[in-house]
Structure 1
Amino acid sequence: MPNAIARTEDIELRLLLEAIFLKYHYDFRNYALASIKRRLTQARDQFGCRSFSQLQDMVLNESGMMDELLGYLTVQVSELFRDPAYFRAIREKVVPHLKTYPSLKVWIAGCSSGEELYSFAILFREEGLEERTMFYATDINADALRKAEMGVYALERMKLFTENHRLSGGKSSLSDYYTAGYGAATFDKSLRKRTVFSDHSLVTDAVFAETQFVSCRNVLIYFTRDLQGRAIGLFKDSLTRNGFLGLGAKETLRFSPHADEFTEFSRDERLYQKRGGI
């Protein structure tokens, strides 16, 4: 009986994902099932639904419900200079290469509420690359993009952010980049003056720019292997020859169909370089 209930739940779950795709064009059908089920179970319980079918009815028929559900379907967990060794490797190993370009485009894919973007903007300012760089910060969650564009974070998070910045090789005080008040830290709007914020799905959308660096961390772990392959293919097509790709600590190109088109640039920090070729 428990197995039959679980099978019914999985059928309802897949029908819910199909309904979301058909009506709203958000495609979560090839996300890792265990992860998406866990998040939708939380949403189902939070909205007081007895089943995924009831949740589907709400999503299809109640105004604003899809926007709320996106908060469960897209993971919004990040921090400034998360995994400081990653940013130190960029600072020490990648930046010397980037300095050879007269202009740069950097794509922060799955930018969430903007912590990764501000990390790059600060690092590039400290390394003298800001004025020649255009940043593209993309996510499928419109609410997350709005938060990223505002650049306001809880003041209590600044202690962790400051330590991460220091460990990343920061050349100034993080407090130089924000003002504090009313329990919040607001990052200087000049940090995003060269940023384009845009809705973009790694599942359904195409490449939109030629870039020298793509950073997409802790997004692929929620995808099936086929979907990971699609996303990495987008990054490959976006990158110029010898461009750089940064992934999360638990992500790798090892099983990707595009693995042969990259070299491991800094293995421990999951930094890859697209092969030169003609």
Structure 2
Amino acid sequence: MTRDVPPRPEAPWPHGLQREDHDTHRFAPSCRSSGAIPSRRISPTARSERARAFSAGIRRRASVSRAHSSTNGPIGTGDRSMTARALILAAVLACGVGGCAGGSGQRPVEQLTRAGTMIDQAEQAGAQRFAAAELEQAREKLQRAQQAANENDNEVARRLAVEAALDAELATARAASADAERSAEEVRQGVDTLRRESERSTMQSDSSTTGNEAPGAPPATTRPESPDSTNPGTQVPGTAPGPQP
């Protein structure tokens, strides 16, 4: 005799899932047999909306937490932050005061020394003769630089010292150029003098040779000898014999 077994009742569907969705949601047999709640398929639009809502909630909780910490933080947090701010402010003020006190920097000893050395070299090179204007400018700027350094205006002193050194270098270069030109002119004058002397010597030698052998001169003649007084009978060639005594 066969016993009829009543059909097993189906498990209730999750909230929001209708009966008509049964055809669009296919579940594995294992899920039905185990009685697990099937997963619901979510559209991309709904998924993005849920993600945005979740992110907004996290941001909201984070802002609330920061506000709570700033107002009702643990004991000592506010004191430590105020101390840190005070230290930073003190350091900034110290740097500012130090910058104001030493804003001009140190005394430009190196620049002043170099400018004086360059002026001395220009004087030795003869700049007073060939580049007097540049040398005078260098001296004036060096004097102004020393005065500014004495007044603790070290930036102006450094700038003037550098300019004085440059003017002295220019004076030295012009003096050297003028000296080189003068030397070259002296060499040219010496060469011209030697050339003129050589030409003069050549002309004198030619004139002396021409005077010794003059063209068209008459041949030299022999003067007849007079009869010897001791020998009256001697006949002079080319004369008729005279009567005998």
TM class by shorter chain equals: under 0.3
Answer 1 or 2: which has greater helix percent.
Answer: 2
TM superposition score normalised by structure 1:
0.17
Q: Which of structures 1 and 2 has the bigger CA Rg?
A: 2
More contact order relative to length (CA 8 Å, sep ≥ 6): 1
Answer 1 or 2: which has greater strand percent.
Answer: 1
TM superposition score normalised by structure 2:
0.18
